Amino acid sequence: MFKVIQEGLLKVDPGLLLWTIITFVVLLLILWKVAWKPIVEALDARAEKIRGDIDIADKARQEAEKVLNEHKELMADSKEEAGKIIAQGREAAEKLKNDILDKANADARDMVDRAKKEITLAKDTALSEIKNEVVILSTDIASRIIDKNLKAEDQSSIVEETLKQMGTVQ
């Protein structure tokens, strides 16, 4: 059985071993020059491209966050500005309403004052006319009384006649 092992696969032949090692080293050198270097370079290039893509993606993410924050700030500023504009509009509308009401009230007061003045003037004019009429009638009565040298009956009839005339004047 020991003989089978010496002649089988486990038999070591120094010439074959040397050529096997030389072939392996040559093949390894050929692979190192032809295949290993391009494979390593391709892997390094791919790793570098992936790093670059990651950096680009990170920069794009940071830029997107920056733009998002700016957009949020702009939206907040816009909301605040819109609120201010609405408040100013309300204040202006309230002021305009108050101005219109004040002007309307002032106009109404002016109209009432003018009406009172016109009424007072008309009253004063009427009283003045009545006084003039009374003076004229009194003078007329006095002249009639003097003209007739009147008796008491005549005086009563003149006064009644004058009062009737005053009644028709009113």
In a domain, 116, yes or no: yes
Which string of b and e fits 2-32 if b means at least 16 CB within 10 Å? Answer: eeeeeeeeeeeeeeeeeeeeeeeeeeeeeee
The rounded Cα 36 to chain-centroid distance in angstroms is 70
Which pLDDT score is estimated for 23?
A: 95
In a domain, 4, yes or no: no
In a domain, 72, yes or no: yes
Q: What DSSP state is assigned to residue 120? A: H
Domain of 149?
A: 13-169
Q: How far apart are CA 155 and CA 159, in angstroms?
A: 6
Which pLDDT score is estimated for 7?
A: 61
In a domain, 3, yes or no: no
Which pLDDT score is estimated for 4?
A: 47
In a domain, 69, yes or no: yes
* Total domains in the fold of the chain: 1
In a domain, 95, yes or no: yes
Which pLDDT score is estimated for 14?
A: 82
Which pLDDT score is estimated for 85?
A: 94
Which stretches of the chain drop beneath a pLDDT of 70?
1-9, 145, 147-152, 155, 167-170
The candidate with the shortest Cα–Cα distance to 133, out of 157, 165, 159, is 165
The candidate with the shortest Cα–Cα distance to 165, out of 144, 150, 147, 146, is 144
The rounded Cα 23 to chain-centroid distance in angstroms is 87
Which pLDDT score is estimated for 1?
A: 45
In a domain, 1, yes or no: no
Tell me if the pTM is above 0.85: no
In a domain, 6, yes or no: no
